[in-house]
Amino acid sequence: MSNVLIIGAGGVGQVVTHKCSQRRDIFSKITLASRNKAKCDLISSQLGNSIETAQVDADNIPELVRLIKQVQPKMVINVALPYQDLHIMDACLETGVDYLDTANYEPRETARFEYSWQWAYHERFMQAGLMALLGSGFDPGVTNVYTALAAKKYLDTVEQLDIIDANAGSHGQPFATNFNPEINIREITATCRHWENGNFVESAALSTKRCFFFPEGIGQMNIYRLYHEELESIVKHIPGIKKAQFWMTFSDNYLKHLEVLQNVGMTRIDEVEFNGQKIVPVQFLKRLLPDPGTLGPLSKGKTCIGIIARGVKNGTRKQVYIYNICDHEACYREVLSQAISYTTGVPAVVGAIMMLTQKWHVPGVWNIEQFDPEPFLEILGPMGLPTVVIDGGDWPEL
Ligand code: NDP
């Protein structure tokens, strides 16, 4: 029975709060805090006001420390934005509380995310006897766990890894992102990197495209290679990977809008002088685009996110495809959110359960693939994200 503090009342925060509320055997007290308390109160009202809410600016460490001291949680689930990660980790260290997030730290002024900043906290968390679990969403998160499962159970060595993320659903909007538009656009427009023979190799954003035939009735879709943060930790923690790539589906319509927005400068992340005020174009664009939280009732169709791992088992080359299928409308019926927020929020709650029940509890800063994948997956399925394993078979090389 534990007291938990959730920070960030966006799309993912809503799912995390609903799912924690479904497991009162573990989360006996829940507090949801965000910059805008009204958003917390709205989520609380969906749950019959059975949780506490609070206002906090998570960029302000003394404010965070005051809130954590007042709430006295066992752990903080950080589902605010990547910019806040280090501040929240600092506050957790100061107050002696465990930490979990779903996205690695990224400085506001450069679209460059990497784990070095958070890994640098390892010694301090270890000495304080505290645990920080990084990247407990879907990708990063479940994709790392699937890779650990492939390495533990299906292959002696994972030599090639393709992480493939399909949103085969539609929200009917001319252009909208399924999670925070600023973070999403920064990620997609960044230079692509993939792992090959011991190094990260760069290529232009969205310049490598393949066709992939997805299972369970989804069928053929275009996928584009991107850099994604789990590549960095997976190739470090799962030895032997010679090539690792991350792929995501985008519709032609999405790419057309993105190209125009880029060409006219609306995706810029530097400050621009406008009518005597400084604005950051991508932040202004976020203000104009649909709030991902409003896409829930509009989204239909499925997501299919998983990994194909190739390597050797007992001297024979083979491959395994491990994935989850999630249905937007089913998510909305359950927690009033679309599947992208759902597939991120549920693994965050499962990661928290692993920590709170001490199944995974080691002081220090850890990526999720560093733990035994099976106990996590045993909880993930019943919590709403079942795993499908196709052991063997013949999916084409990408
Ligand atoms: P949203 O923008 O919907 O929500 C973010 C929330 O954080 C908002 O409620 C916002 O408050 C709050 N927030 C922002 N800044 C602060 C601050 N300084 N202090 C307190 N609260 C703050 O984003 P999502 O819910 O879509 O995404 C949440 C996180 O999940 C992000 O880090 C994202 O990168 C990650 N993610 C991870 C995925 C994965 O699979 N691993 C997939 C998708 C997302 P306000 O509304 O008041 O501004």
Distance from the alpha carbon of residue 84 to the mean position of ligand 1, in angstroms: 9
d(C-alpha 107, C-alpha 208), whole Å: 27
Look at residue 225 in the predicted model and tell me its pLDDT. 97
Distance from the alpha carbon of residue 132 to the mean position of ligand 1, in angstroms: 18
The domain covering 142-338+381-391 belongs, at the CATH homologous superfamily level, to: Dihydrodipicolinate Reductase; domain 2 (3.30.360.10)
Domain with CATH 3.40.50.720 in the chain: 2-134
**pLDDT > 90: what percent of the chain?**
90
Residues in the chain: 398
For ligand 1, atom 41, the nearest C-alpha belongs to 137
CA dihedral 391, 312, 366, 19 (to 10 degrees): 0
d(C-alpha 163, C-alpha 141), whole Å: 12
Kindly state if the Cβ of 80 falls inside 6 Å of ligand 1: yes
Q: How many CA atoms are closer than 13 Å to the CA of 303, on its beta-carbon side?
A: 28
Among 5, 7, 12, 89, residue to substitute to test ligand 1 (most atoms within 8 Å of Cβ)? 12
Angle of the 281-288 helix axis to the 181-189 helix axis, nearest 10? 130
**Topology of domain 2-134, per CATH?**
Rossmann fold (3.40.50)
Per-residue pLDDT averaged across 94-106, rounded? 97
The amino acid that residue 245 corresponds to is Q
Kindly state if the Cβ of 10 falls inside 6 Å of ligand 1: yes
Q: Per-residue pLDDT for 1 more than 90?
A: no
The amino acid that residue 289 corresponds to is L
Q: Per-residue pLDDT for 364 more than 90?
A: yes
320-352 pLDDT, tens digit each: 999 999 999 999 999 999 999 999 999 999 999
199-242 pLDDT, tens digit each: 999 999 999 999 999 999 999 999 999 999 999 999 999 999 99
Per-residue pLDDT averaged across 366-389, rounded? 98
Look at residue 396 in the predicted model and tell me its pLDDT. 86
Kindly state if the Cβ of 13 falls inside 6 Å of ligand 1: yes
Kindly state if the Cβ of 137 falls inside 6 Å of ligand 1: yes
Q: Which residues on neighbouring strands pair with residue 391, listed in sequence order? A: 320
d(C-alpha 15, C-alpha 79), whole Å: 10
Please report which confidence band the pLDDT of residue 168 belongs to, taking 50, 70 and 90 as the band edges.
very high
Domain with CATH 3.30.360.10 in the chain: 142-338+381-391
Exposed/middle/buried for residue 252 (C-beta within 10 Å: 0-12, 13-18, 19+): exposed
Distance from the alpha carbon of residue 180 to the mean position of ligand 1, in angstroms: 6
Among 16, 102, 164, 228, residue to substitute to test ligand 1 (most atoms within 8 Å of Cβ)? 102
Look at residue 266 in the predicted model and tell me its pLDDT. 94
The number of the ligand 1 atom at minimal distance from the alpha carbon of 141 is 41
More confident residue, 394 or 155: 155
